[in-house]
Amino acid sequence: MKIILSAVSLAFILVAAQPALAELLDGEKEAIVTAIPGVIAGDAAWHRAWASEQTADGIVGTPDGGLVFAQERTDTIWKLDADDTPSVYMKDTHGAGAVALDNEGRLYAAERTCTAPDRIESKACKEPTKISIVMPAQQVLADQLPDGKTLGRLNDIVSDGKGGAYFTAAGAYFVSPQGQVEVVADTDIRPNGIMLNRKGDVLYVTNRDEVLAFNVTRHGVASDRRVFAKLAGETGADGMAIDSAGRVYVTGNAGIHVLTPEGQELGLIPVPRRPVSLAFTGPGKKVLYAATFGATGEDGKDMKAPEGQRNNAMTLYKIDMLSEGFAGRPK
């Protein structure tokens, strides 16, 4: 398998952290791709696009073929251009940990503030977490649930394309452009990734070893909760993407699960490291990026945090696809 390192010479602020799970950071592995008809060729290979001691999460493609990602612990949002050149896209993001775009150019952020377990100020955290529009103008959409409780530790976010957004925390929720929050599901669920189908009337939410589906209206009202797919051997279903044919791509411990629009598994795309987020971008939206735990430094060795601190290192990989991302919205 070819892996090409294109951009890793960056300096970042290191923050105090707790130990991470070793099995998520135990080195780069060979990832031999098996062909999935119409999705990926058997000779496709992952290429390393970016790596750092810091996180890269909640990724989303941009109309110019680039990629935007959140870096919670440095309070920045970064962008890779189409040639994988990195630059700071936005500063002072209140711990944004996931981002989403819509076709109007609005950039949404799940602002985790100081809730990360490895942030020094976390024990005295006073700033509530928020779902916000951060570009082109800043607007807080929500900082509390319908019952008045705070949003808690936020996970993922996807725009509904109409000025609102769906997001996950302890449950799955919708926030309207006017800031009204609707509960999609907050019982018997451990959600993480969240995604809409092409029409925007079915919402997918990962739930450990499965993907749940809900029918949703344009106002975020949800119904008909059901198991869309069971992911064989999984316990860590996470981020999602869809393609132009309506297939659903789900990251997990084993790699990227590819599902039909009906929820049947077509195959698994192995990744050199454990993926947590993914997005289509590039020419024709036919390049798939995956954000993964762990990173290799310029010395060819795995980046390690000082003893007693959490290893926040992550890598962005990319691979050419036969399928193409859904053109109806950025994410």
Domains and CATH numbers, the chain: 22-320 (2.120.10.30)
- Own/partner contacts of 167-172, CB < 8 Å, gap of 24 or more, are 167/110, 167/131, 167/194, 168/192, 168/193, 168/194, 168/205, 169/129, 172/203, 172/205, 172/214, 172/222
pLDDT in tens, 266-295: 999 999 999 999 999 999 999 999 999 999
Block means of pLDDT (10 residues each) for the chain, 331 residues, are: 36 30 68 97 97 94 97 95 97 96 96 78 76 96 96 96 96 97 97 97 97 95 97 92 98 97 98 97 97 91 77 94 94 83
Query: How far, rounded to the nearest angstrom, does the alpha carbon of residue 38 sit from its chain's CA centroid?
Result: 24
My answer on whether omega of the bond before 136 falls inside 30° of 0, hence cis, is yes
Number of H helices, E strands in the chain: 0, 24
Q: How far is the C-alpha of 269 from the C-alpha of 282, rounded, in Å?
A: 19
Beta strands 191-196; 139-142: pairing state: unpaired
**Which pTM does this prediction carry?**
0.91
pLDDT in tens, 100-111: 999 999 999 999
Cβ neighbours of 271 (radius 10 Å): 25
Q: How far is the C-alpha of 165 from the C-alpha of 174, rounded, in Å?
A: 6
Joined together, the tokens standing for residue 189 give 């669920």
Angle (CA) 60 71 319, round 5°: 40
